[in-house]
Amino acid sequence: MHRFRRLSLAFAVAGVVGVAAPVAANATALVTISGATSSYPLVALLTAKYVKLHPHKIRFKVTQGGTTVGINDVKAGSVTIADVAQEPTSADAGLTFYPIAKYAICVITNKSNPVSNLTAAQVTSIFTGKTKEWSSALGGATAAGPITVFSRTSVAGVLTSFKSLLLEGKSVVSSATEEASEGLMRQAVESSPTGIGFVSNFQANKGGLNVASIGGVACNQSTAASGQYPGVSVFYEVTRGKATGAASAFINWVDSSASAKKIIESQWVAIPPAA
Amino acid sequence: MPLERLRKPWPDHRAERTLGAVSLLVGAVILAMVVFVTVRAWPIFEHNGLSWLGSGGNLEDEITRMTAASSNPTAADYHLRAWPVIYGALLTTGIALVLGLVLALLSSIFIVELAPARVRNVVIPVVRLLASVPSVIYGLIGILVLVPYVGNHLVTEQQRQSMQGTAQLTGESLLVAVVILTVMITPIMIALICEALTAVPPSWREGAIALGLNPLRAVRAVTLRAIRPAIVAAAVLATARALGEAVMISMVSGGKFFTPRPSDGVVFLYEPLRTLASTIVDYREGISSPPLGATIYSFAFLLLFAAFALSVAGYLVKLPLRKYQTRG
């Protein structure tokens, strides 16, 4: 009898908490974000930190789907912020672009094939399949025979940026092997002596690979920050009109706070706060 | 009080109703899953009819177009011809099943009929253990050991040249996928077939030997015939696991929508491919693009349908074999 009463009390309490908690959560601001898969890891880290710093004040719902999906969603007003991994175009009138971070896309080869430097034209020619064989003219390559081109699956944001920044918008040769993630891309190039691929700078500079300079500029955080390196992609947060309310507070925090800068600089390149 | 009543032995009718409810729930969950996947996959059927199962398109281009589609896709964005991945799934599963079945039959006969008890007591637990190794571990072994070995030692310069412009022979290949798949599904079949073999009454085989057959022929004529339903059951389970294998295939099969061509000779084995399940893994990030999401769900639908068809086919094949059954 006693046990039953205690148990029913416990259930009642649990029920009240279960109903009340979501109600309380609804009182906080909800910011919805959709867009680029490439910047998703960064945005996920930033939003998680922001929620921790402002408990019970804000909630985020972050989904991926690609830059185009994000831009369409924010134009239609179905999300507050779009994650965008490409430069603004004329079709984006009425949207405000807030740059949040940069990263460089490096061209990588096998450790046994020390390609030191490629011209921008050589990179385009190799990845579009015009140059098919290794020769020492390609930045002092020591490999011989057909070039094995590794690319990424078409859902990868880094592939879209790579094409627009370093391939003059052209497509990677259709015979290229597609890898599903940056890690698999690294592994593929590490184990293929004739391989060439591309990864973001924080993956490239972990060692185990040869990273080629492009047009004489090495690929690393500092050349990306200075803007010398040609393959630098910028992540934007995009809103319809100017950002307002909770979204604006979040973007300001990303732009100026030390804790956001720390997260960005763990793997990406921070952008100096707007004057 | 209700709690005290629960603690007493249950009357039959209540136990029956509770167990019935639980099993109905399982059925309801499966039904809900099928309905959900079908609804999500529906746009693909709507725009392509059943011809999306066929060949004739360029899957690579179709998927790229779906990735770039806006959130208000046009009918053209849904265009899909999925034959390369269906072929990939059938090819890897088919070869692995044939290889695995032969290996499993021979080794189970050895384990049960010929091996000394000491060997048997070690081998059977080891086989059970192998059957439960997670597939991602096989994938890691594949990508760290087998793929570089095939790419750097088996594929020749000449073969690479011959395929230039169509597909790259990197070692991520049909060969590695099939080898690992075979290693994955054989232990399941051995475990099931061994169990069936031990259940055959020894008197049957003794009778055959008494009639003048030598031991191996007695195994073939009596024991193997008796366990045919178990062999079918083992093959169905193994096929289901092979068809649904996603992560391992995605890691070792070369990420390319390519249909390996047997007419290429040995190179056929080194050619890359994708299967239904591995494509789902490769393109999971694009699931929120409406056409690509529908495509992924349509592949899932096909896998669900295959699982259903397999169990029905297994049942139908077993029907005429009932008379050989040793138990029940």
CATH value at residue B263: 1.10.3720.10
Domain membership of residue A25 as a residue range: 2-101+235-270
Q: pLDDT for B170-217, tens place per residue? A: 889 999 999 999 999 999 999 999 999 988 888 988 898 899 888 888
* B-chain residues near A145 (CB < 8 A): 157, 160-161
A111 and A128 belong to one structural domain: yes
Tell me what the mean pLDDT of segment B76-99 comes to: 93
- Look over chain B and give the mean of its residue pLDDT values, rounded to a whole number: 88
* pLDDT tens readout for residues A108-125: 999 999 999 999 999 999
The number of domains in chain B is 1
> A114 with A202, same domain?
yes
- Taking the CA of residue B58 and the nearest CA in chain A, the distance in Å comes to 11
Please tell me whether residues A84 and A9 are part of one structural domain: yes
- Domain membership of residue A275 (yes or no) is no
Distance CA A69, CA A35 (A): 6
Q: Best of B168, B281, B283, B292 to disrupt the A interface by mutation (most A CBs within 10 Å)?
A: B168
B165 chain-A contacts, CB cut-off 8 A:
129, 132, 175
Per-residue pLDDT of A10-62, as tens digits, reads 555 555 544 444 444 456 788 999 888 778 888 999 999 999 998 888 899 98
Contact list in B for residue A175 (CB cut-off 8 A) is 164-168, 256
d(CA A13, CA A33): 35
B279, exposed or middle or buried, with CB in 10 Å at 0-12, 13-18, 19+?
buried
Look at residues A213, A196, A223, A195 and name the one whose alpha carbon lies nearest to residue A120. A213
pLDDT, residue A32, reads 92
Task: Give chain B positions within 8 Å (CB) of A37.
Answer: 285-286
Question: B289 lies in a domain?
Answer: no
- Domain membership of residue A200 (yes or no) is yes
Between the alpha carbon of residue B94 and those of residues A210, B133, B155, B234, the distances in Å are 40, 21, 24, 14
Burial of B21 (0-12, 13-18, 19+ CB in 10 A): exposed
What does the block give as tokens for A67? 């830059």
Whether residue A56 sits in one domain with residue A44: yes
ipTM over 0.85? The verdict is no
CB contacts < 8 A, A to B, total: 106
- Whether B276 is covered by a domain: the verdict is yes
For the record, the structure tokens of B10 come out as 């249950």
**3-state secondary structure (DSSP) of residue A97:** strand
Asked if A176 lies within 8 A of B3 by C-beta distance, the reply is no
Q: What is the pLDDT of residue B104?
A: 95
Same domain, A135 and A75: no
B289 vs A202: CA distance, rounded Å: 28
**CATH number, residue A77:** 3.40.190.10
- What H or E segment, with its residue span, contains residue A177? strand A177-179
Pairing of strands A95-109, A148-152: unpaired
Confidence band of A5 (pLDDT split at 50, 70, 90): low
Same domain, yes or no: A226 and A264 = no
User: Is residue B320 predicted with pLDDT exceeding 80?
Assistant: no
CB contacts, 8 Å: B286 with chain A: 37, 65-66, 154-155
Number of structural domains chain A divides into: 2
A94 phi, psi to nearest 5 deg: 90, -10
Nearest to A72 among B71, B172, B251 (CB): B71
Alpha carbon of B254: minimum distance to chain A alpha carbons (Å): 6
Please tell me the distance in Å from A67's CA to the nearest CA on chain B: 9
* Across A212-218, average pLDDT: 92
**Interval B122-162: pLDDT, tens:** 999 999 999 889 989 999 999 999 999 999 899 888 888 88
**Residues B207-255: tens digit of each pLDDT:** 988 998 888 888 888 888 889 889 999 999 999 999 999 999 999 998 8
**How many CA within 13 A on the CB side of residue A265?**
12
- Domain coverage including residue B145: 85-282
pLDDT in tens, A251-260: 999 988 889 9
A90 pLDDT band, cuts 50/70/90, is confident
Does B233 fall in a domain?
Answer: yes
Please check whether residue A202 lies inside any domain of the structure: yes
- In chain B, which residue's Cα lies nearest the Cα of A179? B255
Could you tell me the CA-to-CA distances from B83 to A24, A118, B54, B67, B80 in Å, in that order? 51, 39, 5, 19, 9
Whether A79 and A10 share a structural domain? yes
